[in-house]
Chain A
């Protein structure tokens, strides 16, 4: 997806599972996003500071890293316009995620069409989207 100036929307995927990062990246590149991936909170915040993503898809349960909810709060301080979607198998985290500023919540496991749907919905919240 692209903005009015034809710049592709930047999507940051944060997940500690290498396969998930790789295949989500492939899926969203086919959907015309510019995709960045990170497998830890430190890496995610470094990438976010550098690229200022439009959208972030953040797994809540990251091993050997800060939790996705902590990353959400810190990421929004670095990239305040970023639309963040949290992903978890634990649906009870949804209200906490929304309180902390997430615009969407994805319950894992899910199918590709639902994943793409929720990210495209967040993309539409980006004000300068090309129609």
Chain B
């Protein structure tokens, strides 16, 4: 879990106070890409460690996790290139 930013509380307060919204097109992309890759990671890991029969995560499944993390990074880079302020 990421450590919170030192000014994270203020950022949330600013978002609420100024009623900042994420445009729906960006929100759709965020939820689709992050949602699918995070869900895939959750299933890969969970299939081995949730339930009564826990087992080590095989190397090939670890590689799949890395692939999904890479997809998240590529998506965020692409989004940043077209939508970042400044």
User: Contact between A20 and B43 (Cβ–Cβ < 8 Å)?
Assistant: yes
Q: How many residues of A contact B (CB 8 A)?
A: 20
- Interface majority SS (helix, strand, loop, mixed), chain B: helix
The answer to the question of A113 belonging to the interface, with a C-beta cut-off of 8 Å to chain B, is yes
Contact among A31, A61, A89, A112 with B42 in the assembled complex (CB-CB below 8 Å): A112
Question: A89 with B31: in contact, given A19-B64, A31-B51 (CB under 8 Å)?
Answer: yes
A102-125 Cβ-contact flags toward B at 8 Å (1 or 0)? 000000111111011000000000
Residues of B in contact with A, size category: 10 to 19
Interface-lining segment among A22-30, A45-53, A66-74: A22-30
- Complex contacts, B50 vs chain A, CB 8 Å: 27, 111-113, 116
Which B residues lie at the A interface, using CB under 8 A?
Answer: 31-32, 34-36, 38-40, 42-44, 46-47, 50-51, 53, 64, 68
Interface residues of A (CB under 8 A from B): 17, 19-20, 23-24, 26-27, 30-31, 61, 89-90, 108-113, 115-116
Would you give 30 A-B contacts (Cβ < 8 Å), ordered by A?
Answer: A17-B36, A19-B43, A19-B44, A19-B64, A20-B36, A23-B44, A23-B46, A24-B43, A26-B47, A27-B46, A27-B50, A30-B51, A89-B31, A90-B31, A108-B39, A109-B34, A109-B35, A109-B36, A109-B38, A109-B39, A110-B42, A111-B50, A112-B42, A112-B43, A112-B46, A112-B51, A113-B50, A115-B46, A116-B50, A116-B51
